Chain A
Amino acid sequence: DGGITQSPKYLFRKEGQNVTLSCEQNLNHDAMYWYRQDPGQGLRLIYYSQIVNDFQKGDIAEGYSVSREKKESFPLTVTSAQKNPTAFYLCASSITGPGNTIYFGEGSWLTVV
């Protein structure tokens, strides 16, 4: 089945640690995105990538890093510099071009303990 797979679904991190969230898609989409969702807030854009080996910062990129070495994969690293990392993280993808629907994965819950 075509879709976007995020892993792990639940992740616990100790303060000071970096963690990496995986996002893989088999939809042959060029564009991929990472969003963060907090309770009572809308989704906010962290990073996006329109093509392999290229990515841009979104609205809240501080404390996060990404890579795009393969078309199918867009991992997000939450670094120790992110002051409030506990949130629900959503990966998305789309065909390149502004008129296209953006599709989302099932999300990953990150909790700092």
Chain B
Amino acid sequence: KQEVTQIPAALSVPEGENLVLNCSFTDSAIYNLQWFRQDPGKGLTSLLLIQSSQREQTSGRLNASLDKSSGRSTLYIAASQPGDSATYLCAVRRYSGGGADGLTFGKGTHLIIQP
């Protein structure tokens, strides 16, 4: 059974710092890995999608890497801002019988950027 772990569970840093969020998964047979942002009481916003054949994806100040063989992904946030404060979720798209079904999620990293 696929398990996804995110470290750290919570992180508080001053504004302007670069930071790294970690995600690990136990089964390397995945289609892709997706990073999401969730604000309190809200739905999820997709940030980056990395296909299993890719090593990284970038969007603005965000960079996500994937090492499928070791079951690891990182989300790098450059020059953090208070508006980046949110919970960041990592999820892997898994195989199931005849094809892909839904995502398996980690529990998230709760990020606070101090002004």
Contact = CB atoms under 8 A, between A and B. Distances in A.
On whether the two chains bind one another, the answer is yes
A2 B80 CA distance: 30
Contact of B51 (A41, A44, A99, A107): A99
Interface range, B side: 20 to 34
Interface in B34-63: 34, 36, 41-46, 49, 51
A50 B100 CA distance: 10
A42 B43 contact: no
Given A56-B101, A98-B100, A99-B51, A43 B89 contact: yes
Provide the main secondary structure of the chain B interface.
strand
A108 to B, nearest CB: 10
A97 B97 CA distance: 14
A45 B107 contact: no
Interface residues of A, number: 28
A98 B43 contact: no
A106 B42 contact: yes
Nearest to A46: B102
A102 B101 contact: no
Of A44, A45, A90, A109, the most chain B CB neighbours within 10 A belong to A45
A98 B102 contact: no
Nearest to A57: B101
A101 interface: yes
Contact of B49 (A45, A48, A101, A109): A101
B115 interface: no
B102 A45 contact: yes
A50 B41 CA distance: 27
B89 A107 contact: no
5 contacts: A97-B100, A98-B95, A101-B34, A102-B46, A106-B43
Instruction: Give me the 5 closest cross-chain CB pairs, A-B, nearest first.
Output: A98-B100, A98-B31, A42-B105, A45-B102, A104-B44
